[in-house]
Amino acid sequence: MLITNHVLAGATLGLLAPTCPAAVAVPAVAVAGVASHFLMDSIPHWGVADADEALAIAVVDGLVGLGVSALVLKSSPPDARLRVAAGIFGACLPDTDQPYRLFFGRGFHPRWLDRFHSRIQTEHAWLPQEFLVATALATGFAVAARRLS
């Protein structure tokens, strides 16, 4: 699953989370974000490509994901921004070792977590599904943000 889609899912979770003290909301939304990551990765998604193509797409996706993170944080109501950031953090956390793995040859997550993360993947070669999911998630975020503003 593209990281941009995880960003959008985590941001929406943070946006829709109940308003409560940050000491409760931030860790709760981060944990929900991690859960959303594994749920989304367990749904069949694009992921089959040769190494050069996959790397090029991953780099573009990472940069788009950063830009989308800034955009959703900027467009969130100020009182929701910390929860939105926590949702993004949690939703992206399981994939944080992928750039590290690229540069250093190994990840830093525990092996049991890598095995679980790898085992739940069902990948196919139809990339447009990722864009459809991104469009649906971005629309959901925009609707929720408009209602809360």
Residue 52 phi/psi, 5-degree rounding, is -65, -45
- Give the contacts of 102 (CB within 8 A, at least 6 positions apart): 55
Residue 96 CB: number of other CB atoms within 10 A? Answer: 14
Tokens encoding 13:
């979770």
How near is the Cβ of 87 to Zn ion at its closest, in Å? 16
Residue count, binding to Zn ion (CB under 5 A): 3
In the bound state, the residue with its beta carbon closest to Zn ion is: 41
Should residue 95 be labelled a site residue for Zn ion when binding is judged by CB under 5 A? yes
Specify the residue, 41 or 61, whose C-beta has the smaller distance to Zn ion: 41
Distance of alpha carbon 71 from alpha carbon 102, whole angstroms: 27
Single residue of 5, 36, 41, 76 touching Zn ion by CB under 5 A: 41
Alpha helices (H) along the chain: 3-16, 22-42, 51-75, 81-92, 97-104, 111-119, 128-148
Specify the residue, 41 or 130, whose C-beta has the smaller distance to Zn ion: 41
Segment near Zn ion (CB under 5 A); pick from 72-80, 89-97, 101-109, 129-137? 89-97
Specify the residue, 61 or 95, whose C-beta has the smaller distance to Zn ion: 95
CA dihedral of residues 3, 67, 15, 19 (deg, nearest 10): 110
How near is the Cβ of 63 to Zn ion at its closest, in Å? 18
Should residue 61 be labelled a site residue for Zn ion when binding is judged by CB under 5 A? no
How near is the Cβ of 37 to Zn ion at its closest, in Å? 6
Residues near Zn ion, by CB under 5 A: 41, 94-95
